């Protein structure tokens, strides 16, 4: 059997066709445009393949409650054309096969949990630090949803004493995303984040904010694995600084074998950019197996 997987982001949409073993047989990438155009492109691509279900990892906010009348609708997004757009319904009306939708970061977390750095664990956090910051949460083997879905990129942190940058989040200014996304780094130093040398003092501030957030997730979700990806974490030298600062913030309050072996606990993403697609694939496959 073949399965479809879709990952929609602010700038691009990726569609994949995978077989039972997870082999990626075909892939399409195109820039995110109007919702109707995007739906046409997605449905057009999948019409060339005999797929039995589609899983979607969508940018948020999105209604991920399967029992809701508006399941699969994009909610109050700044992308005006997508606001309140019944994305899942429109795709279903074109393709008439079972579909399932979750957030892009929950899908990324599911992908890493099933096939990547979180394999073998049931409670995993995935953090992406890129243009924005998103946090996916897997609890007891399933992505966490609730009133809406977790929005862990917007938690409030303690300001680093060496940081005077006002923050970039349009809603909260100096939340985690406002202080530590790629654009926040660029706003603080006046240059794109990828141009900065390893010894730039701004990395210490960046690692501090990521470590504070990770400490909060450890205290609230008690994950068995913490995976960090996204463009900014291409800077692998951040990992040892983050791990040391997490130990400092927790200050011995939590003592577990995982924290003793922290280099195996807080780890880079393994599915380099494809985690969302693999998570969406896993959801599609599970949907069929459930019957
Ligand atoms: P997106 O979040 O848009 O899906 P990315 O995860 O690639 O995409 O994140 C893009 C952000 O990451 C940009 O702000 C960019 O400056 C930053 N970035 C990309 N590569 C690097 C790098 N090697 N070092 C530091 N920052 C980077
Ligand atoms: Zn915010």
Q: Please provide the CATH number assigned to the domain covering 2-104.
A: 3.30.420.40
CATH 3.30.420.40 fits 117-268, yes or no: yes
Strand pairing category for 12-18 and 2-8: antiparallel
What is this structure's pTM? 0.97
- Asked whether the beta carbons of 211 and 239 are under 8 A apart, the reply is no
Choose among 284, 187, 178, 196: nearest CA to 237: 196
- Closest ligand to 188 CA? 1
- Asked whether the beta carbons of 112 and 124 are under 8 A apart, the reply is yes
DSSP 169: B
Mutational test site, ligand 1, from 10, 131, 135, max ligand atoms within 8 Å of CB: 131
Q: What is the pLDDT of residues 25-50, one digit of tens each?
A: 999 999 999 999 999 999 999 999 99
Per domain, the residue ranges of the chain are 2-104, 117-268
pLDDT of the residue at 291? 78
- Asked whether the beta carbons of 7 and 276 are under 8 A apart, the reply is yes
Q: Of all atoms in ligand 1, which is nearest to the CA of residue 182? A: 14
Same fold: 2-104 with 117-268: yes
Q: Is pLDDT at 141 greater than 90 in this prediction?
A: yes
- Taking the CB of residue 210, how many other CB atoms lie within 10 A of it? 27
Q: Which residues approach ligand 1 with their CB closer than 6 A?
A: 9, 11, 130-131, 182-183, 192-194, 230-232, 234-235
Averaged pLDDT, 272-283? 96
Instruction: Locate all alpha helices (DSSP H) within the chain, ordered by sequence.
Output: 35-46, 87-95, 104-115, 176-180, 182-189, 202-221, 238-250, 257-260, 262-265, 275-290
Share of the chain above pLDDT 90, in %: 97
The mean predicted confidence, pLDDT, of the chain is: 97
Determine the Cα–Cα distance for residues 113 and 119; give it in Å rounded to an integer.
5
């Amino acid at each position: 059997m073949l399965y479809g997987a879709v990952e929609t982001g602010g700038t691009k949409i990726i569609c994949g066709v995978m077989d039972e073993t997870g082999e990626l047989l075909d892939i399409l990438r195109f820039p995110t445009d109007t919702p109707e155009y995007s739906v046409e492109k997605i449905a057009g691509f999948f019409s060339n393949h005999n797929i039995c279900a589609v899983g979607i990892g969508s940018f948020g906010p999105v209604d991920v409650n399967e029992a809701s009348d508006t399941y699969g609708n994009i909610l109050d997004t700044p992308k005006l054309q997508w606001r309140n757009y019944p994305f899942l319904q429109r795709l279903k009306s074109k393709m008439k096969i079972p579909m399932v939708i979750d957030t892009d970061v929950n899908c990324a977390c599911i992908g890493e949990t099933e096939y990547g750095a979180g394999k073998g664990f049931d409670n995993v956090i995935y953090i992406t630090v890129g243009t924005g910051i998103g946090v996916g949460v897997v609890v007891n083997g399933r992505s966490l949803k609730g009133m809406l879905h977790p929005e862990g990129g917007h938690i409030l942190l303690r300001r680093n004493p060496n940081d005077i940058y006002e923050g970039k989040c349009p809603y909260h200014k100096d939340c985690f995303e406002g202080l530590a996304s790629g654009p926040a780094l660029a706003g603080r130093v006046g240059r794109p984040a990828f141009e900065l040398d390893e010894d730039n003092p701004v990395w210490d501030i960046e690692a501090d904010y990521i470590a504070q957030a990770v400490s909060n997730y450890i205290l609230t979700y008690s994950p068995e694995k913490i995976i960090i990806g996204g463009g900014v974490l291409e800077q692998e030298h951040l990992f040892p600084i983050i791990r040391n600062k997490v130990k400092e913030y927790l200050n011995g309050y939590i003592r577990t074998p995982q924290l003793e072996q922290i280099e195996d606990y807080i780890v880079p993403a393994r599915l380099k950019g494809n985690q969302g697609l693999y998570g969406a694939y896993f959801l599609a496959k599970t949907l069929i197996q459930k019957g």
